[in-house]
Amino acid sequence: MLARELLLAKRHGQTLERVAIDFLVEGMADGRLGDEQLGAFAMAVAIQGMDRTETVALTEAMRDSGRVMQWPGLDGPVLDKHSTGGIGDSTSFLIGPWLACCGAYVPMITGRGLGHTGGTCDKLESIPGYDTAPDPDRLDRIVRELGVAIIGQTSDLAPADRRLYAVRDVTGTVDCLPLIVASILSKKLAEGLDGLVLDVKFGSGAVMTDFEPARELAIALARTASAAGTPTRALLTDMNQGLGRTAGNALEIREIIELLNTPSPTGRLFELSRELSAELLLIGGLDADPAEARDRLDRAWASGAVAERFARMVHALGGPSDLMERPDQHLARAPVEVDLYPSESGRIESIDVRALGLAVIELGGGRRQASDAIDPAVGLSGLARIGDEVDAQRPLLRIHARKESEAERVGEALRRAYRISAAGAEAPALIAERIEV
Ligand code: URA
């Protein structure tokens, strides 16, 4: 086979056979295809699209381009969640240990911040000593012993995606549905999963702001993953306000420690984590109906087992053994903390959540370019919600910064991110739709 002929065929809108896709993806992984050919492939797919069969073949070939984890001998299903990214979205830290307490195994491979959204792996690295890149044997041992390990991307998983993604980034082909689907799923399915739940977000803080394109992505992801042999469902969830009350790496870890230490928490971050976990218990066959799944989750939470499992995972991966009891001793804190008040009083009508994410980057809590170091201490806390009353006594949020001048600079942009009126607006529903294919 000649790569040039296959690229020409795709450029002319022909459907590629599985063997052709396998050949191209092998060439991406072993270097036989040059970057210019990867660019041509991405552009041809972006213009001509791929049908369902091609998308499944591309996903499977990219999944199989590196190591695919195997989990022989476990007494429960191997499960995971993927979120398309947002602000204050720390559900992974609750879902992983929660499922482990309910009989599942969760080898969760997480990403870094992308664009204005935060990354689970960056948040983990705000815990001193935590190893986000354990070797495969250590990962295997921890997952078998504790049922959960949350770590970062490893270079041996889906190497074809790493090359293709870098080329897409510079050729204007990131926002192409089949390429997004294959990219996301190749990495997740390489974990050797029995079930996957997708949290596909829409709204002002999501990568896809509009509902319909997000829905289309959710359906394509769920269909492709299921066709590739991993039963998958998706929830379409609201990102018109931060999910938790904080945005920023160490701040989000503090927030989840506080949640884990609370016997009966409330709020959207907890609620969504519970719903995504319930979906996974159903997909994994651990429960037969949603009420049963929620009941099992509530019992595990109330027993304190979820917090304990999180603490054991942190310690097993090199973090402090007393993080849950003494977070202040271990997590960085910014020297400047300033409350930001609205310029007029009233109720919050809408929030430009993307602007919150950009403010975190501006403060040093995210990257402008891949090589940037992250300041774990900075960010935002006490995020007011849609419908909340704000005035000269009730702030919009608190800014955590290195310098007063930096807090002042982002403060102005942040104030503009909030629309306030006398009546405000109702809080949008957290889960807009459940997709089961
Ligand atoms: N995340 C990924 O891993 N790949 C994409 O293409 C988009 C988001």
End-to-end CA distance of the chain: 35
Report DSSP state, residue 152. E
Which two three-digit tokens encode residue 213? 């394109």
Which two three-digit tokens encode residue 251? 């701040």
- pLDDT at residue 413 in the model: 96
CA-nearest residue for atom 3, ligand 1, is: 184
- pLDDT at residue 288 in the model: 97
- pLDDT at residue 169 in the model: 87
CA-nearest residue for atom 5, ligand 1, is: 180
201 in active site: no
Among 58, 110, 114, which residue has the most ligand 1 atoms within 8 Å of its CB, making it the best to mutate?
Answer: 114
188 in active site: yes
User: Which of the following is catalytic: 187, 201, 223, 309?
Assistant: 187
Tell me, rounded to whole angstroms, the distance of Cα 46 from its chain centroid.
24
Q: Which amino acid is at 74?
A: L
Which two three-digit tokens encode residue 29? 């992984």
Index of the ligand 1 atom closest to the CA of residue 187? 3
Report DSSP state, residue 121. H
In angstroms, the Cα distances linking 388 to 118, 350, 351 are 24, 10, 12
Beta bridge partners of 107: 149
**Alpha helices per DSSP H over 228-289:** 249-260, 268-283
Question: Comparing C-alpha atoms, which of 111, 115, 116, 85 is closest to residue 359?
Answer: 116
Domain locations in the chain as residue ranges:
3-49, 79-325, 333-421
Cβ count near 422 (within 10 Å): 9
- pLDDT at residue 368 in the model: 86
CATH number of 333-421: 3.90.1170.30
Residue 248 gets the label, from left (phi > 0), alpha (psi -120 to 50) or beta, of left
Digitized pLDDT (tens) for each residue of the chain, 437 residues in all:
999 999 999 999 999 999 999 999 999 999 999 999 999 999 999 999 999 999 999 999 999 999 999 999 999 999 999 999 999 999 999 999 999 999 999 999 999 888 889 899 999 999 999 999 999 999 999 999 999 999 999 899 999 999 999 999 899 999 999 999 999 999 999 999 999 999 999 999 999 999 999 999 999 999 999 999 999 999 999 999 999 999 999 999 999 999 999 999 999 999 999 999 999 999 999 999 999 999 999 999 999 999 999 999 999 999 999 999 999 999 999 999 999 999 999 999 999 999 999 999 999 999 988 888 999 999 999 999 999 999 999 999 999 999 999 999 999 999 999 999 999 999 999 999 999 99
| 241 in Cβ contact with 353 (< 8 Å) | yes
Cβ count near 80 (within 10 Å): 28
Distance CA 232, CA 83 (A): 13
- pLDDT at residue 113 in the model: 87
Distance CA 426, CA 428 (A): 6
| 237 in Cβ contact with 432 (< 8 Å) | yes
Among 109, 120, 163, 165, which residue has the most ligand 1 atoms within 8 Å of its CB, making it the best to mutate?
Answer: 165
330 in active site: no
pTM of full prediction above 0.95: yes
Give the pocket of ligand 1 (CB within 6 Å).
165, 180, 183-184
Burial 271-297 (b: 16+ CB within 10 A, else e): ebbbbbbbbbbbbbebbeeeeebbebb
Beta bridge partners of 287: none
| 82 in Cβ contact with 198 (< 8 Å) | yes
Task: Check if CATH label 3.40.1030.10 holds for domain 79-325.
Answer: yes
Question: Comparing C-alpha atoms, which of 387, 323, 295 is closest to residue 350?
Answer: 387
Among 109, 110, 153, 180, which residue has the most ligand 1 atoms within 8 Å of its CB, making it the best to mutate?
Answer: 180
* CB-count exposure of residue 387 (10 Å: 0-12, 13-18, 19+): middle
Handedness of CA 224, 152, 116, 435 (dihedral sign): positive
